[in-house]
Structure 1
Amino acid sequence: MAKKVKGLQAVDFFCGAGGMSCGFSQSGIEILAGIDIEPQFRETYLANHKNSKFINRDIIKYQPEELKKEIKISKFDDSLIFIGCSPCQYWSKINKAKHRSSYSNNLIYDFQRFIKYFMPGYVVVENVPGIVNSKNNHVLLSFLDFLTFHGYKYEYQIIRTDHYGVPQKRNRFVLIASRVTNAIVFPKPEVRNDMTVRAFIGPHNGFPILQDGHVDPANIMNNTSALSSLNKLRIKVTPKDGGDRMAWKDDPKLQIPAYEGKDHYYRSVYGRLWWDKPSTTITTRFIATSCGRFGHPEEDRGLSLKEGATLQTFPKNYQFKGGLVSIAKQIGNAVPPEMARRMANAIVSKNG
């Protein structure tokens, strides 16, 4: 456990299973509460953040006055940090139905209500890069205007997670804002050759050799998703260490009709991870080989829960509660804790 930084406290909005809370607590920041609309996150969150509250509320309906009573925080507290990692379906490049995700488009406005009421010393936002790149959405610009109007200085960047300690090929939007310092020092990227799948998982790192559909009665984190008979055949003929569905595209039994004649269409689906490259983005469906490049580099199966959590940089002792699908969703939805820790350090460095 990191030594507590005197005075610094945080409230984690849209906390999920606690990836941001984990990283910030590793930096010594006290986590007062996590807020999320999904009750399934409660057990996992409280198991790992025992001195924090889990507030199961919809932020659209939740009022700042209620939060003030619940955790007794004050307005204009220079040592208070608000973390806002709202669901990002609206700006996601893989989203195909904007109208279905417009709910997530408005959550920043609701997060903004809490900032306006409490005026915390710091604000941290994490999201997908599409929040910047969207030509038809002005939510971010409005939020930045709001921060400036209320005296916050800010810096934001689109970062590569493998430059911030996370072995994934993943880009994220991160913003750090403060009304108590003009000098926001954004954490510097660190280019390393060991941000690879091999450096984090595999038998050489203590991970057991498993079959698909493995059920470990002692530790659900070793569980893997069962493959259909066809998918078992597909992964067996997919070359190890980065192979993809091109290996069986001409096999009439294994080829998927939707992909016939479309060799470059979602080519990574059914693929294996490479040992010596970063993982693809760990999503909520990372346990399914049919949902991306989630095949184990060598074994004929998809990733286990523990492997997905490790590639997300959750500590080995982080406790996830629930079933296979629920835990996979918790892991895939989370902000990688190591990335969060480095963002938190940028704030800690100003309060040493």
Structure 2
Amino acid sequence: MRENKVLNDKKIKAVDFFCGGGGMSCGMQQAEIDVLAGIDYEGACKETYETNINGAQFIQADVFELKEKELQKKLKLKRNDKNLLLIGCSPCQFWSIINTDKKKSEKSKNLLKEFSRFVKYFKPGYVVVENVPGVLRKKKESGLEAFIEWLECNKYKVHFEVHNTNDYGVPQNRKRFTLVANRVGKEKLFPVKDEGKKLTVRDVLGEKNGFPKVKPGHQDKTDFMHTVANLSDVCKERLTYVAKDGGNRLGFAHILRLQLKCFIGKDNCFKDTFGRLWWDRPSSTITTKFYSVSNGRFAHPEEDRALSLREGAVLQTFPINYKFIANSNGAIARQIGNAVPPEYAKRIGQAIIKNHS
């Protein structure tokens, strides 16, 4: 009994800021970290989060208004607790290289600074930050530089780098800035890397992996959600000219009635539009628009359609039984595309667990 109590006292407890639909929390739980709560401004994520992240509560809060003592009381947290992990994967549109409306996302540029407020108050044993690579390129403006300086001054060992999640068990090319800080051991911690073959689309999609062939507009009302966006007749015809296994829009560029007007005379740009995934390569980055063939290389390798919701989730390494709950397919796709791939989160958690044992 006493031995079990000692083990429980040493178990790492995590609070997941900007948790969304729970990708990071899911991976941390798979690494056997005790996730206490997820915090997010978007209440639409609550049902998905609480349905899948067993034992964790969803706290709907604006981090700009949430107070440190309020969170301390709500979750019964201790300050200077070496068994505490604080995670911050803030929405990152402002620092993304993708051409987004910066005015709409301007508030998000200060989310890292707000997260650091909680780190400075609680001074946990471990800190994890995951974001777009742009946050490192603009480390002064984003607040990252000052945050790292504070961590190092307070005796944290800090690893920070841009990683491709395909090196960590994710069948997808997805480059992400990752920071792992710890004040428990003397070594910097790195996500646990794959040494063998990297996963590709063929390893997780296709009929042999439980995905029957379907047509555009297919609706799957079960929790499996093999649901596919519909296509106009002209878009269906366009896809018939896109070569299987990695083809792109140049397959129909010579047919005037099918060519996209915005690309006339511009064959060398945005080739991924209407592009197919390759079977034997990792997928392109799964974005919030992965269910649309006109928003990137999101067409199935051989079927004339976009990826289904579940195919996008699997490429993000969500468990096959993970339930996504929202009021529209677009909202579900946003939960999937915005998430930290659970397998990548698990690899970060494993490094922390190994250091803590």
> Counterparts in 2 of 1:1-352, with a 5 A limit?
6-134=10-138, 137=141, 139-219=143-223, 221-322=225-326, 323-352=328-357
Task: Using the TM superposition, give the Cα deviation of residue 112 of structure 1 relative to its aligned residue in structure 2, in angstroms.
Answer: 0.8
Secondary structure in 2 matching 1:264: coil
Shift of residue 95 of structure 1?
Answer: 3.1
Change (3 A) 1:337 1:138: closer
Kindly indicate whether the alpha-carbon contact (under 8 Å) linking 2:193 and 2:347 is maintained by their aligned counterparts in 1. no
TM-score, scaled relative to structure 2 = 0.94
Secondary structure, in 3 states, of the residue corresponding to 2:105?
A: helix
Separation in 1, partners of 2:262, 2:96? 23
- Provide, for residues 303-344 of structure 1, a one-character-per-residue CA deviation record: whole Å limited to 9, x for no partner: 011100000001111111123111110000000000000001
Q: What TM-score, normalized to structure 1?
A: 0.96
How far residue 190 of structure 1 moved from its aligned partner, in angstroms, is 2.3
Distance, in Å, in 1 between the alignment partners of 2:238 and 2:146 is 48
Whole-angstrom distance in 2 between the partners of 1:300 and 1:4: 52
> 1:247-266 CA deviation, whole Å, 9 max, x = no partner?
01111111111111111211
Counterpart CA distance in 2 for 1:277 and 1:195 is: 8
| Unaligned stretches of 5+ residues in structure 2 | 1-6
Residues 1:155 and 1:55: Cα distance change in structure 2 (over 3 Å) = same
Q: Which moved more, 1:69-78 or 1:33-42?
A: 69-78
Q: Which moved further from structure 2: 115-124 or 149-158?
A: 149-158
Q: For 1:4 and 1:48, how far apart are their aligned partners in 2? A: 23
Contact 2:90 2:111 in 1 (8 A): yes
Deviations 1:212-268 (A, max 9, x none): 110122346111111112111111211110110000111111111111111121110
Q: Deviations over 1:137-166 (max 9, x none)?
A: 352111111212333221112111110000
- SS of the aligned residue for 1:187 comes to coil
In 1: Cα distance, 2:140 partner to 2:103 partner: 13
Task: Please report how far the alpha carbon of residue 300 of structure 1 lies from its aligned counterpart in structure 2 after TM superposition.
Answer: 0.8
- For 2:254 and 2:237, locate their aligned partners in 1 and report how far apart those are by CA, in whole Å: 14
Asked if the contact 1:184/1:346 (under 8 Å) is kept, the reply is no
Identity value in percent: 48
In structure 2, relative to structure 1, the CA distance for the partners of 1:253 and 1:192 (3 Å cut) is: farther
Say which SS state the counterpart of residue 350 (structure 1) adopts. helix
Q: Distance in 2 between matches of 1:325 and 1:84?
A: 25
Q: 1:54 and 1:165 mapped to 2: Cα distance?
A: 27
Query: Which of 296-305 and 229-238 deviates more?
Result: 229-238
How many residues are treated as equivalent by the alignment?
350
Residues 93 and 100, structure 2, Cα contact 8 Å, conserved in 1: no
Aligned residue for 2:4? Answer: none
SS in 2 for 1:156: strand
C-alpha contact (below 8 Å) 1:23/1:341 kept by paired residues: yes
Cα distance in 2 for partners of 1:159, 1:62 equals 31
Report the secondary structure of 2:320's partner residue.
coil
Provide the rounded CA distance (Å) in 2 between the counterparts of 1:5 and 1:162. Answer: 34
Would you say the 8 A contact 1:294–1:302 is kept in 2? Answer: yes
Q: 1:64 to 1:343 in 2, by over 3 A?
A: same
**For the residues of structure 2 that align with 1:140 and 1:326, how far apart are their CA atoms?**
30
RMSD, aligned CA:
1.7
Residue type at the aligned position of 2:102:
K
Cα pair distance change 1:192/1:291, threshold 3 Å: farther
- Give, in whole Å, the separation in 2 of the partners of 1:164 and 1:5: 30
Could you list the runs of 5+ residues in structure 1 that have no partner in the other structure?
Answer: none
Q: Secondary structure at the match of 1:198?
A: helix
d(CA) in 1 for partners of 2:197 and 2:61?
A: 42
8 Å contact from structure 2 (residues 24, 342) kept in 1: yes
Instruction: Tell me: CA distance 1:64–1:101, structure 2 relative to 1, closer, same or farther (3 Å).
Output: same
Which has the larger displacement, 185-194 or 284-293?
185-194
- Alignment partners' CA distance in 2, 1:155 and 1:61: 29
How far apart are the structure 2 equivalents of 1:191 and 1:128? 24
